[in-house]
Chain A
Amino acid sequence: MFHAKRPEEAADQALVAHPSHHTPHHGASFTPIGAFPKDIGDSHTKKIELAIRIDRVSKSFGNHSVLNEISLDVPKGNIHGIMGKSGAGKTTLIRIAGLLEKPDEGSIWYEGISMPVHELYGRAMLEARRQVGFVFQSFNLFSSRTAAGNIAFPLEAAGWPREKIRVRVEELLELVELSDKADRPACRLSGGEKQRVAIARALANSPSMLLSDEATSALDPETTRSVLDLIRSLRDRLGLTVIMVTHQKEVIRRICDTVSVISGGSIVEQGSVAEVFSNPISEAAQAFLKEDDEKEYGYV
Chain B
Amino acid sequence: MQSKSVYKVPNGKLLKIFLEYNEKNNSIKNIEITGDFFAYPEEAIEILEKKLKNTSLKRNSLLEKINSVIKENNIEFIGLNPEGLTEGILMCLK
The answer to whether A and B assemble together is: no
* Residues of B near any A CB (own CB < 8 A): none
